[in-house]
Structure 1
Amino acid sequence: MKIRTALTLKYTCVTATIFLLCTVLIYLVSEHTRDQTFFRNLKSEGITKANLFLAGQVDARTMQSVYLNNRKFINEVEVAVYTTDFQMLYHDAIHNDIVKETQGMINAILKKKEIEFHIGKYQGIGMVYMYKGKQYIVTAAAYDGYGYSNLVGLQEALIIMFIVGLLLIFVAGYFLARMSLKPIRNIVNEAEIITASHINRRIPVKNEKDELGELSIAFNELLKRLEISFESQKQFVSNVSHELRTPLAALTAELDVSLQKERTCEQYRHAMLNMQQDAKRMTRLIDGLLNLAKADYSKEEISMREVRLDELLLDVRELIMRAHPDYNIELVFGNEDDDDDRLITTLGNPYLLNIAFSNLIENNCKYSANHSSMVQISFRDKWSVVRMSDNGFGMSDKDKENLFTLFYRGAKEQTVDGHGIGMTLAHKIVSLHGGNIVVNSEQGKGTIFVVELPHV
C-alpha cells in the first residue's frame, strides 16, 4: 500500500471517528433536551387541569370528554388528581390509566414533592399541588409524539450528513495526501535520474527549513560523499593498474628475452634474479594496497587495545634492522616521569601502528645519506609524541604539499625504490587513531616527522 493511500485511510478513519462521536453527542443532547422539555410540559398541563377541576370552573365529565376527543388526534396528557390519603378526585381516563398510581408512589411524591419517571414509551410526573392551603397529588403522563418525530428527523439528517461528510473527508484526505507527498514524488523522480555516470547531479532544495528540505540536503550530502568515493575509486584503480603494469611488463620482457635463445646458467640465473626482484616489488605493492584498505576501515571495525609506544618502536626497529642491516635507528626517551608508562601508552591497533611507524622510519633511512633515523619518544598534555628525524636530502615545498597523496613520488623517485603508498598509509593510520602527523623538512637539511597520539 502506498503512503498516499495509507495516509488517506488513516486521516479518514480518525476524522470519521471524531465526526461520529460529534453526531452521537448531538443526538444524545437533543434527546435529553426533548425529555426535559416534555417533563416541563407535563407539569404545566397537570397544573392547568388540576386548577380547572379544583376551582370548579369545568366539571369532570366535560374535562374527560375533551380528553377523549383530543386523544383521537393528538397525544393528549392524561391527568389524575388525588388526596394525600390516596383518594382519587379526578382522572382523565380511569379505564386507560397510564400511570397506575399506587400508595407507594403517593408516599414518594409526598416525600420528594415532585418525581419524574418513564412508563414504556410514555413519560410521567407526580407532584404535590397546593390549592387553597391544602395539598393534593397530581399525576400526568403522555407520549411525546411530536418530540420523537423531530428526533427521528434529526437522526436521519445526522446519518445522511455522516455518510456525505465521510465521502467528502475521504476525497479531501486523498487530495491533501497527494499534495503533501507531491514533493516526495519529485524527489523520487530526480533520484531516478541520478546514475553512476550522472552522480554529479543533485536534488533541488526548495525550502531548507522543512523536513523535505532537510531530506534533500542529507541526500545531496550523501551523493557528494559517493561522488568523492567513486572518483577516488576510479583514481585508485587507474593508479594501481599503472603501478602493477611496470613490474609485470618488466617480468614479461625478462621472460620473453630468456626464451628467445639458449643461454648459459649464469645468464638464466641473472634473468631469474631480475624476475624475483620484480615479483618482490609487486608483492610489496600488493601488501601496501591491502594495508591501505585496512586503514580505510571505520574505528569501530578495528580491534583496539592499550599499546606502549616504547615497546612498539623497539619491535619496529628490530623488524627494520632485520630487513635492512645497513640502516641505523636510534631510540631516545625525552621525558622522565614516574607515570611515564601511562603517558606513552595509547589505545590502538598494534599491527596498524607498526606499519605506520615502519613506513615513517624507513622513509627517514631511505632518504638520508647514512641511512639513519633518530626516534624520540616524549609526552605533553594529553599527547604521546614520537619524533622521527634524519639528516638526509630533505623535501621541496611541492613534495611536502603532496607527501600524503596516494602514489605520489617525490623528486628522488628515480634513486629510491617505492610506490608512493607508505606516507598515505601512515597518515590514514594516525588519523584513524585520533592523532596528528606533521612534517618539517628543508632541502639539504633533513626531514622531521612528528606523530601525536592521545595517551590513556
Structure 2
Amino acid sequence: MKIRTTLTLKYTCVTATIFLLCTVLIYLLSEHTRAQTFFRDLKSEGITKANLFLAGQVDAQTMQSVYLNNRKFINEVEVAVYTTDFHMLYHDAIHNDIVKETQQMINEILRQREIEFSIGKYQGIGMVYLYKGKEYIVTAAAYDGYGHANLSGLQNTLIILFIIGLTLLFVAGYFLARLALKPIQNIVNEAETITASHIDRRLPVKNEKDELGELCIAFNALLNRLEVSFESQKQFVSNVSHELHTPLAALTAELDVSLQKDRTNEQYRHAMQNILQDAKRMTRLIDGLLNLAKADYCKEKISMHEVRLDELLLDVRELILRAHPDYSIELLFSNEEEDDDRLITTHGNPYLLNIAFANLIENNCKYSANHSSIVQISFYNRWSIVRMSDNGCGMSAEDKQQLFTLFYRGAKENAVEGHGIGMTLAHKIVKLHEGNIAVHSEKGRGTSFIVELPHV
C-alpha cells in the first residue's frame, strides 16, 4: 500500500472517529434536552389539570371525556390526583393507568417533593401540589411523540451527514495526501533520471529548511560521493587501458622479433634487456596508476595521524638516492624555535605524503643539469611549508598551466623518462591533506614547488 493511500485512510479514520463522537454527542444532548423539556411540560399539564379539578371549574367526567377524545389524535397527558394518604381523588383513565401509583411511590414523592421517572416509552412525573394550604399528590405521564419524531429526524439527518462527511473527508484526505506527497513524487521522478551515465544530475532543493529539502541535500551529498567514486573508477580504467597499451605493444613486438629467427646469445641478451626495461617501465606505470587511484579515495577512508615533515623528507631523500645515486638532495631547516617540532608536524598519511614529495623532488632532479634539488622546511602561521627548488631549464607558461594535468609531459617529454602521472598524483595528495601546492618557474631559471600543509 502506498503512503498516499495509508495517509488518506489514517486521516479519514481519525477524522471520522472525531466526527462520529461529535454526532453521538449532539444526539445525546438533544435527547437530554427533549426529555427535560417534556418533564417541564408534564409538570405544567399536571398542575393545570389538578388546579381545574380542585377548584371545581371543570367536573371530573368532563375532564376524563376530553382526555379520552384527545388521546385518539394526540399524545394526551394522563393526570391523577391523590391525597397524601394515598386516596385517589381524580384520574384521567383509571382503566389505562400508565403510572400505576403505589404507596411506596407516594411516600417517595412526599420525601423528595418531586420525582421524574420513565415507564417504557412513557415519561412520568410525581410532585406535591399545595392548594389552599393543603398538600396533594399529582402524577402525570405521557409519550412525547412530537419530541421523539424530531429526535428521529435528527438521528436520520446525522447519519446522512456522517456518510456524506465521511465521503468528503476521504476525498479531501486523498487530495491533501497527494498534494503533500507531490514533492516526493517529483523527487522520485527526478531520481529515476539519475543513472551511471548521468551521475552529474542532482535533485532540486526548493526549501533547505523543511524535511524534504534536508532529504534532497543529503541525497545530493551522497550523489557527490558516488560521482567521485565512479569518476575515479572510470578514470583509472581509462588510464590503465591507455597507458598500458604502448609498453605491452613494445613487449609483444620485441618478443615477436626475437622469435622470428635464431639469434646469437648476445642478440638474445640484448632483447632480454630491452624486454626487462619495458617490464620495469610498465611496473612503474602500474605503481603510479595504483597510487593515483588511492589518492582519489575519500579522506574518511584513509588512515591519518601526526607526521613530522623533517623525518618524512629524510626518508624520501634516502629512498630517492638509493634508486638514483647520481642525484643530489639538500635539506635545509629554517625558523628554528624550541617548539618547532609541532610547527613542522602535520596530520596526514605518511605513505601518500612520501609519494607526493618523492615525485616533486624527483621532478627537480630530472629536469636540472646537475640532478639536484634543494628542499627547505619552514612554517608560517598555521602552515608547515616545504619548498623544493632546482636550477634546471624551467618551464614555459603553457607547461606550468598544464603541469597537474594527467599524462601531460611538456616540451621535454622525449628527453626525460616519465608517464605524466607524478605531478597529478602529488597535487591530489596535497589537496587530500587540505593543503596547497604552487609552482614558480621561468625558462632557463629553474623551478620551485611550494607545498603548504596545516600543522598540528
Q: Which interval holds the TM-score relative to the shorter structure?
A: 0.7 to 0.9
For 1:308 and 1:210, locate their aligned partners in 2 and report how far apart those are by CA, in whole Å. 46
Please list every run of 5 or more consecutive structure 2 residues that lacks an aligned counterpart in the other structure.
none
Deviations 1:276-315 (A, max 9, x none): 1111111111111111111111122112222222222222
In structure 1, the gaps of 5 or more residues are none
| 2:248 corresponds to | 248
What residue number does 1:337 align with? 337
State the partner residue of 1:284.
284
Per-residue CA distance 1:414-437 (angstroms, 9 max, x = gap): 111111111111221222222222
Moved more, 241-250 or 48-57: 48-57
Q: Which structure 2 residues correspond to residues 117-266 of structure 1 after superposition, within 5 A? A: 117-132=117-132, 136-171=136-171, 173-174=173-174, 237-266=237-266
Q: Does 1:414 align with 2:414?
A: yes
Please give the TM-score of this superposition, normalised by the length of structure 2.
0.83
1:320 aligned residue: 320
Note the aligned Cα RMSD (angstroms). 3.9
The CA deviation at 1:218 is 8.9
Offset of 1:246 from its aligned partner?
1.4
Q: 1:199 to 1:308 in 2, by over 3 A?
A: closer
Q: Which moved more, 1:154-163 or 1:417-426?
A: 154-163
Give the partner amino acid of 1:48. Answer: T
Give the match's secondary structure for 2:155. Answer: helix
Q: Take 1:96 and 1:340, find their aligned partners in 2: how far apart are those partners?
A: 118
1:10 is displaced (CA, Å) by: 3.6
Identical pairs, percent: 84
Q: What letter matches 1:17 in structure 2?
A: T
Aligned to 1:28: 28
Q: Which residue number corresponds to residue 387 of structure 1?
A: 387
Give the 3-state SS of the residue equivalent to 1:353 in structure 2.
Answer: helix
Mean Cα deviation higher: 204-213 or 242-251: 204-213
CA distance in 1, matches of 2:335, 2:280: 40
Give distance in 2, aligned partners of 1:116 and 1:246.
Answer: 111
The size of the alignment, in residue pairs, is 456
Which letter does structure 1 place at the counterpart of 2:391?
N
Which of 92-101 and 442-451 deviates more?
Answer: 92-101
- Counterpart residue type for residue 273 of structure 2: L
SS of alignment partner, residue 440 of structure 1: strand
Following superposition, the deviation at residue 140 of structure 1 comes to: 3.1
Following TM superposition, by how much is the alpha carbon of 1:240 offset from its aligned partner in structure 2, in angstroms? 3.4
More displaced stretch, 156-165 vs 245-254: 156-165
Please say which of residues 371-380 and 197-206 is displaced more in the overlay. Answer: 197-206
Give the CA deviation at 1:349.
1.7
Q: Structure 2 vs 1, CA of residues 35 and 287 (structure 1 numbering), >3 Å: closer, same or farther?
A: farther
Q: Distance in 1 between matches of 2:392 and 2:434?
A: 29
SS at match of 2:141: strand
Confirm or deny: 8 A CA contact 2:232 2:296 kept in the other structure. Answer: no
CA distance in 1, matches of 2:137, 2:454: 100
Task: Tell me the SS of whatever aligns to 2:441.
Answer: strand
Instruction: Report the CA distance between 1:449 and its aligned residue.
Output: 1.8
2:308–2:346 Cα contact (<8 Å) kept = yes
Contact 2:236–2:289 (8 Å) recurs in 1: no
C-alpha distance in 1 between matches for 2:427 and 2:219? 29
* Secondary structure, counterpart of 1:392 in structure 2: coil
Hey, what does 1:303 align to over in structure 2?
303
Give the CA deviation at 1:54: 3.1
Superposed, which structure 2 residues align to 1:39-54 within 5 Å?
39-54=39-54
What secondary structure, in the 3-state scheme, does the structure 2 residue paired with 1:369 have?
A: coil
Q: 1:266 Cα shift?
A: 1.9
- Structure 2 letter corresponding to 1:354: N
For residue 247 of structure 1, report the CA deviation from its aligned partner.
1.0
CA–CA distance in structure 2, aligned partners of residues 107 and 442 of structure 1 = 126
Cα distance in 1 for partners of 2:222, 2:304 equals 29
In structure 2, the CA distance between the partners of 1:333 and 1:190, relative to structure 1 (3 Å rule), is: closer
Q: Deviations over 1:152-177 (max 9, x none)?
A: 33323333333344345445555665
Matched residue of 2:384: which SS? Answer: strand
**C-alpha spacing 1:254/1:28, structure 2 compared with 1 (3 Å):** same
Q: Which amino acid aligns with 1:382?
A: R
1:2 alignment counterpart: 2
Closer/same/farther in 2, CA of residues 31 and 238 from structure 1, 3 Å limit: same
Partners of 2:111 and 2:450 in 1: CA distance? 104
Number of the residue aligned with 2:352: 352
Specify the code of the residue in structure 1 equivalent to 2:259. Answer: L
> Offset of 1:129 from its aligned partner?
4.2
Instruction: Write out aligned runs for 1:77-156 (5 A).
Output: 77-81=77-81, 89-92=89-92, 98-99=98-99, 114-132=114-132, 136-156=136-156
Amino acid in structure 1 at the alignment position of 2:432: L
Relative to structure 1, is the Cα distance of residues 321 and 81 closer, same or farther in structure 2, using a 3 angstrom cutoff? farther
Tell me which residue corresponds to 2:364.
364
> After the TM superposition, which of the residue ranges 80-89 and 1-10 deviates more from structure 2?
80-89
Q: TM-score, structure 1 length as denominator? A: 0.83
Letter in 2 for 1:319: L
- C-alpha separation in 2, matches of 1:97 and 1:323: 127
Cα–Cα, structure 1 residues 131 and 392, in superposed 2: closer, same or farther, change >3 Å? farther
- The change in CA–CA distance for 1:274 and 1:154 in structure 2 (over 3 A counts) is same
CA distance in 2, matches of 1:133, 1:450: 122
Query: How far apart are 1:275 and its partner, in Å?
Result: 1.0
Task: From the superposition, tell whether residues 258 and 22 of structure 1 become closer, same or farther in structure 2 (CA, over 3 Å).
Answer: same
Distance in 1 (CA, whole Å) between partners of 2:362 and 2:135 is 123
Q: 1:377 — aligned with what?
A: 377
Superposed, 1:68-83 pairs within 5 Å as 68-81=68-81
Tell me whether 121-130 or 263-272 shows the greater mean CA deviation.
121-130
Q: Deviations over 1:51-74 (max 9, x none)?
A: 223322223444345445544554
- CA shift digits 1:179-234 (9 cap, x unpaired): 77677667766766676667788999999999989989998998899889877766
Quote the Cα distance in structure 2 between the aligned partners of 1:72 and 1:111: 36
Q: After superposition, what is the alpha-carbon deviation per residue over 1:384-424, rounded to whole angstroms, capped at 9, x for unaligned? A: 22222222222222122222211121222111111111111
- SS of the residue 1:379 aligns to: strand
Range moving further from structure 2, 109-118 or 272-281: 109-118
1:152 counterpart letter in structure 2: S
